[in-house]
């Protein structure tokens, strides 16, 4: 009854799309729909965010103020905190956070809150697509079962899909439009409708047989990355112990044109996905009495990297007869990866807290991240003048390699440098150290 009408309106771009959650995933998606001429409502509970968006002020780097203002002015995008407008929407995409609880279990509260709004205002014949990363079975358990209690029959009264977001903040090559997208529906008709909608804005679509398969696809992608990063982090620690250069070895291995994929070590893992997604998968596995030791070990390895960085800092300072306590240390880069302003789960946050805990006078420099909240709840501001006063620091600790960093100046002016990202590549200098290369501890300073 509803499917043919919805198909026709999608093809003619006569539908209204609603995106719930206007963060790193939802806002770029909303812009893609609006850009193709589809009227789009963006729903968010943060009123200040809604007001800024309607004034053409974007809060994320991947959406420019110009792009946002154009879509607002054309009447193709409107942000709102009024969820009653869901009753006018033909297709809903849920792009809300899926963090962990304090007990390190999946926090479904944001999805449940979105579903609660949808159940009150769902338009019959509408498509619902969950994009938030989650464990296999979420779409069926939290959305289909909830709506079935209200008498909605999936595949008849509404259509339901899962399509995992693949947003990579700051990626200048791949964006929402040109990143292939996976989608799976609860029924064949659901998959057809979901494919038809998203193919209006995304070039390459891949359909799987179920929402569970689509959910597991995202967890496989990111757990794969977590496990391989953990392995290369452990190799870096081993090379440290053996006095070998992990960076040289990685580059050599990468010359093999088959059977090897290059991963690089670092101070830990960050972002919303890589640190959390394996824990969603591990939690679901335990529900089925399956213990994913490999996944759990990878998490353990990655989580201990900030402490390993602190050990390396201590070693480098000790070589130069300095103690961690009362040393002046400058962190370069607080974001979880280069050239972005995102500090979610950034390992730099943990490194900062550990340095402070160990008595170091710790400052940081990051033009992308001018302030953050430390582990004690204090607001910390970046030192704008740090690059002009490098000599006052006992050690410069490079945790995130932003392209704007003046490496030549750092190399010239800094007393000691510890590079955790191989930013300085093959440069050799007596005061330059890198993780994964080993240092000879000549003297240990205990106080």
Give the pLDDT score at 287.
93
> How many other C-beta atoms are found inside a 10 Å radius of the C-beta of residue 225?
17
Give the pLDDT score at 439.
64
| Residue 394: strand, helix, or coil | coil
* Token digits of residue 54: 């309607």
Please, what's the b/e burial string for 332-367 (b: 16 or more CB within 10 A of its CB; e: otherwise)? bbbbbbbbbbbbbbbbbbbbbebbbebebebbbbbe
Beta bridge partners of 92: 18, 128
**pLDDT per residue of the chain (447 residues) written in tens, 0 to 9:** 799 999 999 999 999 999 999 999 999 999 999 999 999 999 999 999 999 999 999 999 999 999 999 999 999 999 999 999 999 999 999 999 999 998 999 999 999 999 999 999 999 999 999 999 999 999 999 999 999 999 999 999 999 999 999 999 989 899 999 999 999 999 999 999 999 999 999 999 999 999 999 999 999 999 999 999 999 999 999 999 999 999 999 999 999 999 999 999 999 999 989 999 999 999 999 999 999 999 999 999 999 999 999 999 999 999 999 999 999 999 999 999 999 999 999 999 999 999 999 999 999 999 999 999 999 999 999 999 999 999 999 999 999 999 999 999 999 999 999 999 999 998 999 999 999 998 653 333 443
Taking CA 433 as the corner, what is the angle to CA 430 and CA 438, rounded to the nearest 5 degrees? 110
Q: Where in the chain is the domain with CATH 3.40.50.720?
A: 3-209, 211-447
* Residue found by looking up tokens 């939802």 in the block: 26
Please provide residue 216's backbone torsions phi and psi, each rounded to the nearest 5 degrees.
Answer: -70, -30
Give the pLDDT score at 426.
80
Give the pLDDT score at 438.
82
Q: How far apart are CA 188 and CA 70, in angstroms?
A: 37
* Residue found by looking up tokens 């690059």 in the block: 387
pTM: 0.93
| Residue 348: strand, helix, or coil | helix
Architecture of domain 211-447: 3-Layer(aba) Sandwich (3.40)
Distances (CA, A) of 39 to 14, 50, 92, 118: 8, 17, 12, 19
Active site members: 273
Strands 371-373 and 205-208: unpaired
Beta bridge partners of 78: 41
> How many other C-beta atoms are found inside a 10 Å radius of the C-beta of residue 438?
18
Topology annotation, domain 3-209: Rossmann fold (3.40.50)
All residues at 6 or more sequence positions from 29 whose CB lies less than 8 Å from its CB, including other chains:
19, 93, 95, 131, 165, 176, 201
Distances (CA, A) of 166 to 24, 283, 319, 408: 10, 22, 44, 35
């Amino acid at each position: 009854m509803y499917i043919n009408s919805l198909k026709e309106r999608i093809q003619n771009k006569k539908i209204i799309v609603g995106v719930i959650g206007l963060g790193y995933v939802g806002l770029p998606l909303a812009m893609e729909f609006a850009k193709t001429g589809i009227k789009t409502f963006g729903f968010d509970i943060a009123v200040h965010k809604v007001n800024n968006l309607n004034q053409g002020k974007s809060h994320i780097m991947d959406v420019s103020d110009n792009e946002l203002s154009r879509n607002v002015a054309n009447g193709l995008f409107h942000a709102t905190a009024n969820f009653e407008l869901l009753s006018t929407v033909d297709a809903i995409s849920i792009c809300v956070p899926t963090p962990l609880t304090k007990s390190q279990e999946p926090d479904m509260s944001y999805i449940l809150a979105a579903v609660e709004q949808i159940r009150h205002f769902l338009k019959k014949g509408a498509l619902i697509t969950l994009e938030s990363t989650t464990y296999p079975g979420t779409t069926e358990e939290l959305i289909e079962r909830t709506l079935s209690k209200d008498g909605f029959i999936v595949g008849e009264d509404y259509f339901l899909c899962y399509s995992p977001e693949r947003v990579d903040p700051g990626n200048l090559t791949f964006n929402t439009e040109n990143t292939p997208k996976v989608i799976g529906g609860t029924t064949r008709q659901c998959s057809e409708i979901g494919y038809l909608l998203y193919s209006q804005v995304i070039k390459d679509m891949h359909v799987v047989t179920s929402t569970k398969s689509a959910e597991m696809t995202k967890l496989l992608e990111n757990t794969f990355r977590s496990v391989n990063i953990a392995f290369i982090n452990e190799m870096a620690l081993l090379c440290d112990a053996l006095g070998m250069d992990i960076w040289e070895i990685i580059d050599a291995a990468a010359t093999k044109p088959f059977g090897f994929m290059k991963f690089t070590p670092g101070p830990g893992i960050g972002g919303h996905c890589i640190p959390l997604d394996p824990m969603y998968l591990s939690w679901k596995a335990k529900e089925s009495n399956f213990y994913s030791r490999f996944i759990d070990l990878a998490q353990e390895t990655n989580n201990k990297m900030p402490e390993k960085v602190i050990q390396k800092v201590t070693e480098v300072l000790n070589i130069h007869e300095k103690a961690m306590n009362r040393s002046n240390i400058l962190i370069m880069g607080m974001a979880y990866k280069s050239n972005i302003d995102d500090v979610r789960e950034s390992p730099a946050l943990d490194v900062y807290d550990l340095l402070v805990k160990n008595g170091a006078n710790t400052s940081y420099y990051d033009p992308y991240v001018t302030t953050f909240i430390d582990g004690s709840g204090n607001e910390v501001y970046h030192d704008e003048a740090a690059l002009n006063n490098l000599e006052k620091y006992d050690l410069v600790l490079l945790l995130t390699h932003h392209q704007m960093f003046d490496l030549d100046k750092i190399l010239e002016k800094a007393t000691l440098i510890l590079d955790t990202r191989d930013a300085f590549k093959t440069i050799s200098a007596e005061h330059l150290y890198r993780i994964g290369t080993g240092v000879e501890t000549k003297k240990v300073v205990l106080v």
